[in-house]
Amino acid sequence: MEKSTAYFERSKKVMPGGVNSPARAFSSVDMDPPFIERGKGAYIYDEDGNKYLDFVGSWGPLILGHGDEDVVRGLQEVIEKGTSFGAPTKIEMEMAELMVESLPNVEMVRMVNSGTEATMSALRLAKAYTGRSKILKFEGNYHGHSDSLLIKAGSGALTHGVPDSLGVPEEIGRHTLTANYNDLDNVEAILEANKEEIAAVIIEPVAGNMGVIPMKEEFARGLRTLTKKHGVILIYDEVMSGFRVSFQGAQSLYPDIAPDLICYGKIIGGGLPVGAFGGRKDIMSLLGPIGPVYQAGTLSGNPLAMRAGFETLSKLQKNPGYYPQLEAMAEKLERGILQAGKNHNIPVVVNRVGAMISLFFSHEPVTNFNSAKAADQERFKKYFKAMLEAGIYLPPSQFEALFLNIQMTTEDLDKFIDTIDRVFSELS
Ligand SMILES: *Cc1c(COP(=O)(O)O)cnc(C)c1O
């Protein structure tokens, strides 16, 4: 790791922590990160020539693997014609049509440049629509880094939020309430205590940022009933789960529950920087230029990003076999991880929804943030390091999902399973 180490030192001089996004620094696993030079298919290669089987996939977007030929060809075509115009283009229209035609409850959509922008803008819209100023989010759910969403829980169910980050004014934190995931009584109590004040409930329908934890069916149903009753906009944050847990995302796992607004990102950019939010036409119509809610972006709907996303979504749509294939692969991993745990007497919990999968070193079922946090961090660090050394690149935290891609082969998965079995034998 000679070159990576040297580059990391150089980067740290000119970039805070040497990175442009904190998790990449590997600080949660007490390691220095490899610098990645290139990727092809299921593999990435670092600057020192090491090869890794990649279970991060740029944190979700690369469901087709690295350097998918259709995405690359599409990007090459666009580059020839120009990279940005700040004017309407045909590919934006085609991308919006594809999303509106294929996604439930998305009647109109607006493209932005990141998931952060998508959730931030969806909340502004919900506040405008309801004329209310508070929002409710769930402990352990991540919605990007805008001020009002960087809040975890207060001490009790009804306390106001405390910012997770310095620089988020307390006044803003006070407008963000937090509830326990999968706990309907908690949600009901908060909605009752803040009547006519809460504009929106925002939730990851399949949470992926505290490890994988899905909404329970009755919870999902109850959440929709309660938000309707209180006139609260229900926002699904599908930035991670969209086009990941199925083509229609988490929405298709909870079929007759209709959120009002839905946020997307990650896969819809095919590896380029993108986010989007969409939903009910009457709410979306409040956006400028036709409505009073301001929202804009110099590079929003950028032709390169739109084309990469369009190629990705079209390919997924044309190949309905991909999702069962990904699911079967994830199921194989799940069985392999559980078996390795059994073989070596390591308590391990695997949570999986479709091809979103994570493991916790825990005895207890993991259904919310508290049970996720109870998992053994020290064991995770050792596991992570040993896997990396064996050429398996995992998200550097127990609170992240592993992402499979359609380029992974049976041999790749066998390699993962053999490695984890050996690593567990060393950990036990
Ligand atoms: C990644 C993620 C975001 C933030 O998206 P960025 O593009 O990193 O700003 C928001 N919500 C969820 C559920 C995410 O997984």
Give the separation between CA 392 and CA 43, rounded to whole angstroms: 9
- The pLDDT tens digits for 65-88 are 999 999 999 999 999 999 999 999
- State the average pLDDT over residues 268-286: 98
Torsion over CA: 354, 357, 363, 365 (sign): negative
The pLDDT confidence band at residue 168, using thresholds 50, 70 and 90, is confident
Strand 176-179 and strand 134-138: the pairing is: parallel
> Which residues fall within 8 angstroms of residue 186, CB to CB, at 6 or more apart?
157, 179, 180
266 is catalytic: yes
CA of 275, closest atom in ligand 1: 7
pLDDT score of 157:
32
**Residues paired with residue 293 on neighbouring β-strands, in sequence order:** 287
Mutate which of 181, 209, 241, 356 for ligand 1? The one with the most ligand atoms within 8 Å of its CB, which is 209
Give the separation between CA 206 and CA 243, rounded to whole angstroms: 12
The catalytically annotated residue of 46, 54, 68, 237 is: 237
Domains of the chain: 2-67+321-427 (3.90.1150.10), 69-318 (3.40.640.10)
- The pLDDT tens digits for 300-344 are 999 999 999 999 999 999 999 999 999 999 999 999 999 999 999
The pLDDT confidence band at residue 161, using thresholds 50, 70 and 90, is low
Mutate which of 62, 138, 142 for ligand 1? The one with the most ligand atoms within 8 Å of its CB, which is 142
Give the separation between CA 332 and CA 387, rounded to whole angstroms: 18
Residue 63 has pLDDT above 60, yes or no: yes
pLDDT > 90 fraction of the chain, expressed in percent and rounded: 90
Residue 125 has pLDDT above 70, yes or no: yes
Q: Say if residues 350 and 398 touch (Cβ distance below 8 Å).
A: no
Give the separation between CA 425 and CA 301, rounded to whole angstroms: 49
Give the separation between CA 189 and CA 195, rounded to whole angstroms: 10
CA of 204, closest atom in ligand 1: 13
Query: Which residue's CA is the nearest one to ligand 1's atom 8?
Result: 115
- The amino acid sitting at 15 is M
342 is catalytic: no
- The pLDDT tens digits for 369-415 are 999 989 999 999 999 999 999 999 999 988 899 999 999 999 999 99
CA of 59, closest atom in ligand 1: 1
pLDDT score of 150:
85
Query: Which residue's CA is the nearest one to ligand 1's atom 11?
Result: 143
Q: Say if residues 277 and 109 touch (Cβ distance below 8 Å).
A: yes
State whether residue 78 is helix, strand or coil: helix
CA of 241, closest atom in ligand 1: 13
The catalytically annotated residue of 7, 43, 52, 142 is: 142
The DSSP line for 17-45 is GGSSSGGGG-GGGT-PPPPEEEEEBTEEE
Tell me how many degrees the CA angle 337-338-343 measures, rounded to the nearest 5: 95
The DSSP line for 316-356 is HHH-TTHHHHHHHHHHHHHHHHHHHHHHHT---EEEEETTE
User: Of residues 154 and 117, which shows the higher confidence score?
Assistant: 117
| Ligand 1 centroid to residue 116 C-alpha, Å | 6
Alpha carbon 153 to its chain centroid, in Å, reads 20
Residue 163 has pLDDT above 90, yes or no: no
Q: Which tokens in the block code for residue 414?
A: 């066998």
Please give the mean pLDDT across all residues of the chain. Answer: 95
Within 6 Å (CB) of ligand 1, which residues are found? 114-116, 119, 142-144, 204, 208-209, 237, 239-240, 265, 275
Query: Which residue's CA is the nearest one to ligand 1's atom 10?
Result: 143
Q: Which tokens in the block code for residue 69?
A: 């030929």
Q: Which residue has the tokens 């891609």?
A: 405
pLDDT score of 156:
33
Q: Say if residues 366 and 398 touch (Cβ distance below 8 Å).
A: no
Among the ranges given (19-33, 70-84, 153-167), the one the predictor scored with the smallest mean pLDDT = 153-167
Give the separation between CA 149 and CA 169, rounded to whole angstroms: 12
CA of 207, closest atom in ligand 1: 13
254 is catalytic: no
Give the separation between CA 286 and CA 289, rounded to whole angstroms: 9
> Which residues fall within 8 angstroms of residue 373, CB to CB, at 6 or more apart?
210
pLDDT score of 65:
98
| Ligand 1 centroid to residue 90 C-alpha, Å | 26
